[in-house]
Structure 1
Amino acid sequence: MTRFDNQTVLVTGGAGGQGSSHVRAFHAEGANVVIGGLDAARGAALADELGTRARSIHLDVRDEGSWSAAVHATESTFGGLDVLVNNAGVQNPPALIEDTDQATWSRILDVNVTGTFLGIKAATPALRRAAGGAVVNIASTMALGGTAHYAPYVASKWAVRGLTRTAALELGRDGIRVNTIHPGVIATPFIHEPAAGATTAIADFYSPAPFAIPRLGEPTDVTSLLLFLASSEASFVTGSEYVVDGGLLLGPALQAEAA
């Protein structure tokens, strides 16, 4: 018996660096997994790799109709929806606020905030039909402070915090828990490759040497916490925020010189 037997999990951005880690782990724990995203080839390849209990679907998180179709397909294929993981996200090319165009601002918020909002909206009736469940929103440590040159992304992740807390209040009496994870610098293409329109990757701005745990995070570091929050083990946890950053936000872990 594993934690997610007879449950169905929908992960947005499910074929990406963190998303594919989440999908594989849920599947290994017995869940039916639905891989939502725009990259049909990568999603299909992951579904084929997993075999039974896995399906890839087209999902543009910015579009309400796409969300409705995705939830309908999930219920039609597996009989219900128990967990939604709002993992899809995009990063802006680094720029000062005065040099950031409105189109970039709108694109980042459309995916990161509107996408999460529409996901909760579309999934709620299905989660109620399943007699409750869990929503986990993947935010960022950038939602816990300011970061120069990343105003759209920072603003979007701060907004996800407020949305999570509001949804937790609205849905708790329906047995639906809503929580947020704030990853730090995780070793995926998202931080190792420049965002669209950029020449510099996020990882170029960070060295893990000063972290309390002096390494970059791995997708599995986030996945392990996600599995807990989505499971019945966290049945009394909602509206909460969990940081996975190796101590990045604590400040530098300075080492005294040996005497």
Structure 2
Amino acid sequence: MNDSWLAAAVAALKPLGLNYAFALDVGERTAFLRGLVVTLQLCLLTIPCSLLAGIALAAMLTSGRRLLVAPARAFVELTRNTPTLVQLYCAFLVLNMLITQHMNGRDMSNPLTPLFWVVLVVSLHKAVFHAEALRAGIEAVPRITLEAARSLGFSRRQLLWQVELPLALRFALPALVNNLVDLVKMTAVASAIAVGDVTYEAIMIWTQRDNVLELLLLILAWFGLLTWLVSRAGQWLEHRLRMPGYGQ
């Protein structure tokens, strides 16, 4: 039943000049669906990892301690001023190779997969943008609010985690959501090191068939859906975390 419905859909699109015959091949169809899942998996892994790393970097940048601020600032400048793809190549083709050589010298295999390196690099790359957005949010917290917290005996750590970050998150939320939308699209770099995401699987299919346009349309639709979901979640959070009367 499903195959007949799929065959009918492919036949209906053919007069429009769209060749989706690959969907009738079980192997190619399975590979493409697997690619959709891998892309979703990358998004679900990189979003929380990038946010946690961004919070840590923001805390370092606003700590007021030179030993924390200096390396954090250097990392931010280096990361945001170099292309993500170059960072991924450096991590996977250089750092991963060195780890592999070291592990082979001890008769052990390298446990770090290409998927791990994509999650690490993309998460850290976006984390610096999260950190800058949060830093701006922290600096936007009214001084009178901080003075009130200090008068209640809040320590520097309590001030950061219980006053500054909760307020900074609300101030920075639109920028953070924008960063996350960009992060979803950025996961497509995974195909550069043969991680089987939707882009990589599509490339493997269109090298065998003349259907580049058709697969690109599907890729655009998938990423459009994912980014729309992230945007909608961000709008819900903005409404949910809005503080009635604050700033009025």
Structure ranking higher in strand proportion? 1
Kindly indicate whether structure 1 or structure 2 has the higher relative contact order, using CA contacts under 8 Å at least 6 residues apart: 2
Same-fold call, TM cutoff 0.5: no
Interval of TM-score (by shorter of Structure 1 and Structure 2): under 0.3
The structure whose Rg is larger is 2
Normalization by structure 1: what TM-score?
Answer: 0.25
